[in-house]
Amino acid sequence: MTLICPAPASDPFAYRLQVPHDPRAVGVARSTLRAALAAHDRPELIERAELLASEMLTNAIVHSDGEAQFGLHFVREALRMSVWDTSPKPPDLRPAGQDCEGGRGLQLLQILADRWNHFPVRTDRFGTVSKVVWCEISSL
């Protein structure tokens, strides 16, 4: 009889999810993220990762007109999440008033992520047509 042992929790892993331009897709991505982190024995990351992923994906859906891609990559005790979207416009970190219903997503990234940033993606010879926003959180 052969026993299959699970991989150690510290082993690297990576996932990618195509996200349609639909607000309901944010919940699907959160569920997928939660399942991946649980399967890899990383429950300490779930709550913070879900909130940050929700904010990045919601921004992608609100501020672009196409699909998005959500990626997560765990290596060396850090989880990097990234969201690609079809808008070339960089994220705009601006103060949100007390009465504003939105505008706090990037502030949450600033506060809760260990690191975050964005970069343009050139996909054709005519220039930048999309971007990636990413963040990292540590399990240490």
Neighbours of 101 (CB within 10 A): 6
* Cα atoms in the 13 Å half-sphere on the side-chain side of 135: 23
Residue type, 113: A
Pure H helices in 40-104: 43-63
Per-residue confidence (pLDDT) for residue 122, from 0 to 100: 80
Largest CA distance in the chain: 64
Question: What digits encode the pLDDT tens for the residues 63-80?
Answer: 999 999 999 999 999 999
In tens, the pLDDT along 18-34 reads 999 999 999 999 999 99
* Angle between helices 105-112 and 43-63 in degrees, nearest 10: 150
Quick one: pLDDT at residue 22?
95
Q: What is the CA radius of gyration of the chain?
A: 16
pTM of the model: 0.84
Residue 107 is predicted with a pLDDT of 86
pLDDT in the model for residue 104: 64
Q: What is the pLDDT of residue 96?
A: 60
Place of tokens 């219903």: 101
Residue type, position 92, single letter = D
What does the mean pLDDT of the chain come to? 87
Residue-level pLDDT, tens digit, the chain, 140 residues: 555 556 665 689 999 999 999 999 999 999 999 999 999 999 999 999 999 999 999 999 999 999 999 999 999 999 999 999 999 998 876 666 555 555 567 888 999 999 999 999 987 777 768 999 999 999 87
